């Protein structure tokens, strides 16, 4: 496993943790101008979904669409095509073995989400490398799930050009940072954040998720164990993709709003559901966002 020093270089100064509050939703989720079209709300490309983990990319794309991405395209295994179109006909499909089409779509996307259900075989490694090599300055990259495991296993660094957001759970973070779970205290994280390389936002998922950015550390104080269901992080990755694709004024705030909305919807559902199905959150997003926009 790579030592964490391999990944971190940029100077970050984080002083204290502040609570992420509901204000962030009202700051970010605003009424859309009438004179606008789908191209204004983000071209989001999601890459993932091996035969084994097809559900992950379906949930992420459902969330991207539910969160309001103008155009959502999914690069995945052909085995997922029928299910994708049956679940989310709004999504476009590309076969992830078609390198030319993958590269063409990476280039024309505003946001690229890579990792949900990607798996870690050689094809997946090649896809991560291709995305990292092709991403440009004005694009936003969300790195999640298997893509983070691939980075750790192959000693890859986050790319320099795109605005880059990583969304590891604690084990993915352990693989990537070299810091074992028991040592993932705030102090340890501050130490590594001081030196983080090429990363703009780190969403460290857990009970009370932490969001690190330059000079800022916020903590989510809502949500609970009713969210401990496979796919919950995949839906978060798609939600972040949809939010950063359309709410363009401030990328960090868009990420924070996505993290808050994802858990707030879950918390509301938990009043009448013992566990919350991740795909229900994806489908609840448009209604929830309308309520925020109308201050209800």
Q: Which residues are annotated as a binding site?
A: 56, 117, 169, 205-209, 233-234
For residues 135-167, b (16+ Cβ closer than 10 Å) or e, as one string? beeebbbbbbbbbbbbbbeeebebbeebbbbbb
Nearer to ligand NPW, 179 or 289 (CB): 179
Nearer to ligand NPW, 200 or 234 (CB): 234
Judged by beta carbon distances under 5 to 8 A according to partner kind, the member of ligand NPW, ligand ADP, Mg ion, none in contact with residue 296 is: none
Q: Does 234 bind ligand NPW (CB under 6 A)?
A: yes
The count of C-alpha atoms lying within 13 angstroms of the C-alpha of 95, restricted to the half-sphere facing its C-beta, is: 5
Residues making contact with ligand ADP (CB under 6 A): 145, 169, 205-207, 209, 223-225, 227-228, 230-234, 236
Bridge-partner residues for 46, per DSSP?
A: 74, 113
Nearer to ligand NPW, 209 or 246 (CB): 209
Binding mask 70-109 for ligand NPW (x = CB under 6 A): ----------------------------------------
Stretch of 143-151, 175-183, 210-218, 248-256 lying at the interface with Mg ion (CB under 5 A): 143-151
**CB of residue 224 vs ligand NPW: minimum separation in angstroms?**
14
- Whether the CB-CB separation of 57 and 234 falls below 8 Å is answered with yes
Q: Which of 49, 145, 241, 245 binds Mg ion (CB under 5 A)?
A: 145
* Residue 35: how many other CB atoms lie within 10 Å: 6
Q: Does 242 bind ligand NPW (CB under 6 A)?
A: no
Stretch of 26-34, 102-110, 225-233, 258-266 lying at the interface with ligand NPW (CB under 6 A): 225-233
Nearer to ligand NPW, 108 or 207 (CB): 207
Window 114-133: residues binding ligand NPW (CB under 6 A): 115-118
Judged by beta carbon distances under 5 to 8 A according to partner kind, the member of Mg ion, ligand ADP, ligand NPW, none in contact with residue 225 is: ligand ADP
Q: Does 46 bind ligand NPW (CB under 6 A)?
A: no
Q: Does 278 bind Mg ion (CB under 5 A)?
A: no
Burial of residue 18 (CB within 10 Å: 0-12, 13-18, 19+) is exposed
Q: Does 279 bind ligand NPW (CB under 6 A)?
A: no
Nearer to ligand ADP, 39 or 224 (CB): 224
Binding mask 93-132 for Mg ion (x = CB under 5 A): ----------------------------------------
**Which positions touch ligand NPW (CB under 6 A)?**
53, 55-56, 115-118, 145-146, 149, 169-172, 206, 230-231, 233-234
Which residues form the interface with Mg ion (CB under 5 A)?
145, 233
């Amino acid at each position: 496993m790579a030592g964490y020093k391999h990944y971190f270089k940029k100077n970050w100064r984080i002083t204290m943790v502040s609570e992420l509050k509901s204000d962030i939703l009202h700051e970010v989720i605003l009424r859309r101008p009438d004179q606008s079209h789908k191209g204004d709300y983000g071209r989001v490309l999601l890459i993932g979904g091996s035969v084994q983990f097809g559900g992950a990319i379906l949930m992420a794309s459902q969330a991207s669409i539910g969160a309001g991405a103008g155009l959502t395209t999914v690069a995945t295994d052909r085995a997922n095509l029928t299910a994708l179109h049956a679940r989310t006909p709004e999504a476009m499909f590309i076969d992830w073995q078609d390198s030319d089409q993958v590269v063409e779509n990476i280039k024309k996307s505003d946001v690229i989400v890579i990792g949900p259900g990607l798996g870690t075989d050689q094809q997946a490694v090649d896809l991560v490398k291709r995305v990292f090599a092709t991403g440009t300055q004005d694009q936003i990259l969300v790195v999640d799930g298997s893509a983070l495991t691939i980075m750790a296993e192959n000693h890859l660094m986050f790319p320099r050009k795109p605005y880059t957001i990583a969304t590891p759970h604690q084990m993915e973070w352990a693989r990537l940072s070299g810091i074992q779970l028991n040592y993932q205290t705030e102090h340890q994280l501050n130490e590594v954040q001081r030196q983080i390389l090429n990363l703009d936002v780190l969403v460290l998922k857990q009970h009370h998720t932490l969001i690190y950015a330059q000079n800022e550390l916020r903590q989510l104080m809502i949500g609970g164990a009713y969210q401990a269901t496979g796919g919950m992080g995949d839906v978060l990755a798609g939600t972040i993709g949809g939010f950063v694709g359309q709410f363009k004024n401030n990328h960090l705030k868009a990420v924070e709003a996505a993290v808050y909305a994802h858990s707030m919807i879950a918390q509301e559902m938990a009043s009448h559901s013992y566990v919350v199905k991740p795909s229900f959150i994806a489908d609840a997003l448009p209604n929830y966002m309308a309520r925020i926009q109308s201050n209800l």
